[in-house]
Amino acid sequence: MRFKTKDVYKGIYSSHQRLKDAATRMGLTLINDEALSLETYVKLLQGRMRTAQPDVKQEVEKRLAALNASHFKVKPHSTLNGHVKLHDRQPEIHLIWYKRITIRAADFLETVADFATSKAIVFLTLVAALSIQVHHLAHLVNKVGLTDNLFLGYIFGSVSELTALMLTVHKARKYMLIAFALVQAWINILYYCELPLLITKLTLSLLIAFVIFSYSEIYTDSHKV
């Protein structure tokens, strides 16, 4: 029995090419580069099981269960050195140590690649970038304050940059994102350049007013019937 790779990859890999790359790393042979035998399909699913996220892992287990019900008695967690054993049909395969290490390294890199293309890494990068602006704002507030109060500056900076994050999450309008990019650029100019304190004070005053307005708008929108 054959399984088309263009149908198989959906739900367990992000692209058709990534499925073929994974098969190559595991030393699996495709049929005409476009199809899998039953044995190859099962091994591919077992390999994916080790690196998949919970939602993908559920799909892999579902497919193994379906194969078990309709074709052979394949146990989803019955493996030898990371490879499935097809009972009464597949001989045991003993991999030499360096091939096992190569496969595990490739699986680890695939996990890293999955994370690098996920929404989580984008969100974490955004938070890291905003944390730099928190530092800049904190020192600007401390610079124009009547007393030396860096702690209050960090509160001001955190609230301001959290506003940027909340508007990105809740609004995500392009014009608003462009406006915030310009605001962040102006804050950096104030931080790195020696400009009159009056300009810095006016900027911070307008910024806190905008923060209050933005949170009021988000709160109002969330309570509309």
The whole-number pLDDT of residue 100 equals 66
Task: Give CA separation, 109 vs 60, 114, 121, 157, in Å.
Answer: 19, 9, 15, 37
The whole-number pLDDT of residue 171 equals 66
Tell whether pTM > 0.75: no
The whole-number pLDDT of residue 4 equals 83
Euclidean distance between CA atoms 7 and 5, whole angstroms? 5
Euclidean distance between CA atoms 7 and 16, whole angstroms? 9
How many other CB atoms are there within 10 angstroms of residue 196's CB atom?
Answer: 8
The whole-number pLDDT of residue 172 equals 63
Residue 63 burial by Cβ neighbours in a 10 Å radius (0-12, 13-18, 19+) = buried
The whole-number pLDDT of residue 99 equals 64
How many other CB atoms are there within 10 angstroms of residue 46's CB atom?
Answer: 22
**For the chain (length 225 residues), average pLDDT per consecutive 10?**
81 82 83 80 85 82 80 46 42 51 77 78 83 88 79 88 77 74 88 89 88 79 64
Residue 160 burial by Cβ neighbours in a 10 Å radius (0-12, 13-18, 19+) = buried
Length of the chain: 225
The whole-number pLDDT of residue 80 equals 41
DSSP lists the bridge partners of residue 83 as 80
